[in-house]
């Protein structure tokens, strides 16, 4: 008898037996069944949440894998539980509203839209969790995929909107797509930045032009700092003054910028700076100055070898060294350059394995530039600047020992000194 039991018929017979007419019996029966379905949907949601809280969460917490924890923290499982009441209503609505076809169509339509929206939310949360997992991998520093994730998210939301609109308007998705195709030109204008950003993101990532953590400078945009985030439309940079700059992603391709990651990965940071020597102070070394400079430890071997070399050359060529311009002689500037090379070679923070130059540049009206072109082994900005400053402090201090002077434009103090000396 249970096999032939029909709750709808039983309720109808029950209410008509109580003296209600057919219309009233059908309405009350429908109301009772709707309440039953509502209760069952609430119960389904409660059971689903209990299963997630008491079973899934416990299993995830006890597992050795970290990925499932990320899915749990992203609330992916919690949002999945929202399908339980929707499925109960979807499958039981036909039984509850069989006598009200218009209401049945409406309820099923709303339930369908609810499931589409829930599925969209779940997919986005799932995508976020996958993105978080990827960001925890070492490769994420060199290959960020934020732009691609945003594109996938846009596609998911767009498809969901198309389905929702097609249900509400009772139109086929293909028909809507055809209408959208006719508006392609307008869409290109609306999504211009997104399209440009997508193309630029692909170029940046595939060509390894930039990654999170890189130090970049972009004078045209006032950017000088560390890359914090690379999105589909924007690149976020924190300048060294702690301000945050946001620039369009496509500008990283259309405009020039400087990426300092090569310097950071090389193990050295370039010091390229010159000091202008007053050319009037350049002269040959006399015996007195030679004797003085020989007392400098790092110059003793250089001066001794240079004297022997010059003496042998002059003797071999019968040079009359009583005349200064004859033959070869040491100069205070050449000896100073030798000192500077020896000093930098011994400096604990200067690399001897990278480019190492102490050279003259072309003379100018402001003196003869002597340039240092070396690499500091310490790349940290503050320490690098300190190393550079210490070197040039030392240079300025030792120049008078070689009989050299720095060129600088005269100041009021200089004229005052000259007037007193007269």
Say yes or no: 130 and 28 in one domain: yes
Between CA 162 and CA 88 the distance in angstroms is: 25
Domain count across the chain: 3
CB 214 within 8 A of CB 226: yes
| pLDDT for position 413 | 62
Out of 87, 108, 136, pick the residue that ends a domain. 136
Q: What percent of the chain has pLDDT over 90?
A: 16
312 shares its domain with 235: no
Q: Look at 200-209, 214-223, 265-274 and tell me which has the smallest mean pLDDT.
A: 200-209
Of 121, 136, 151, which closes a domain? 136
At 245, which CATH number? 2.30.30.60
Q: Where are the beta strands (DSSP E) in 231-356?
A: 234-239, 244-248, 258-259, 269-277
Least-confidence region, from 1-5, 86-90, 102-106, 174-178: 1-5
- Mean pLDDT, rounded, of the chain: 81
- Residue ending a domain, choose from 136, 151, 166: 136
Range of the domain at 287: 269-421
> Residue 175's pLDDT band (boundaries 50, 70, 90)?
low
Phi, psi of 407 (to 5 degrees): -85, 135
Residues 237 and 310 in one domain: no
pLDDT: which is higher, 231 or 295:
295
On whether both 316 and 232 belong to a single domain, the answer is: no
Is 102 within the bounds of a domain? yes
For residue 38, the model assigns a pLDDT of 85
Helix (H, G, I), strand (E, B) or coil at 226: strand
Same domain, 286 and 412: yes
> Is 22 part of any domain?
yes
pLDDT tens profile 320-367: 767 777 778 889 999 999 999 999 999 999 988 888 999 999 998 989
Kindly state whether residues 289 and 387 are assigned to the same domain.
Answer: yes
Does the residue 252 lie in any domain?
yes
Rg (CA), the chain: 41
Does 222 map to a domain? yes
């Amino acid at each position: 008898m249970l096999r032939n039991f029909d709750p709808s018929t039983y309720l109808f017979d029950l209410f008509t037996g109580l003296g209600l007419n057919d219309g009233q019996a059908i309405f009350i029966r429908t109301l009772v069944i709707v309440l039953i379905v509502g209760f069952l949907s609430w119960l389904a949601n409660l059971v689903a949440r209990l299963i997630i809280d008491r079973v899934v969460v416990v299993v995830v917490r006890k597992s050795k894998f970290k990925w499932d924890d990320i899915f749990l923290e992203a609330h992916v499982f919690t949002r999945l539980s929202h399908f339980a009441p929707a499925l109960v209503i979807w499958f039981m609505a036909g039984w509850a509203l069989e006598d009200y076809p218009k209401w049945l169509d409406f309820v099923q339509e709303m339930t369908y839209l609810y499931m589409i929206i829930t599925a969209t939310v779940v997919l986005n949360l799932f995508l976020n969790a996958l993105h978080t997992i990827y960001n925890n991998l070492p490769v994420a520093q060199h290959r960020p995929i934020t732009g691609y994730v945003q594109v996938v998210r846009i596609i998911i939301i767009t498809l969901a909107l198309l389905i929702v609109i097609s249900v509400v308007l009772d139109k086929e998705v293909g028909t809507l797509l055809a209408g959208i195709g006719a508006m392609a030109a307008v869409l290109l204008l609306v999504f211009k930045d997104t399209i440009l950003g997508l193309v630029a993101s692909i170029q940046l990532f595939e060509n390894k032009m930039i990654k999170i953590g890189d130090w970049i400078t972009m004078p045209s945009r006032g950017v000088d700092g560390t890359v914090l985030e690379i999105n589909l439309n924007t690149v976020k940079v924190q300048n060294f003054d702690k301000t945050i700059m946001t620039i369009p992603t496509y500008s990283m391709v259309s405009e020039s910028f400087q990426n300092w990651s090569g310097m950071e990965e090389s193990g050295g940071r370039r010091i390229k700076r010159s000091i202008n020597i007053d050319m009037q102070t350049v002269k040959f070394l006399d015996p007195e100055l030679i004797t003085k400079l020989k007392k400098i430890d790092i110059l003793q071997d250089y001066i001794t070898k240079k004297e022997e070399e010059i003496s042998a050359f002059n003797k071999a060529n019968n040079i009359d060294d009583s005349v200064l311009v004859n033959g070869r002689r040491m100069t205070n500037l050449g000896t100073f350059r030798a000192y500077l090379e020896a000093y930098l070679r011994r400096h604990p923070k200067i690399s001897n394995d990278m480019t190492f130059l102490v050279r003259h540049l072309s003379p100018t009206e402001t003196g003869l530039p002597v340039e240092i072109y070396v690499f500091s082994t310490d790349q940290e900005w503050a320490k690098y600047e300190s190393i550079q400053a210490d070197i040039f402090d030392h240079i300025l201090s030792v120049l008078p020992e070689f009989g050299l002077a720095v060129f600088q434009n005269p100041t009021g103090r200089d004229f005052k000194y000259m007037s007193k000396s007269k």
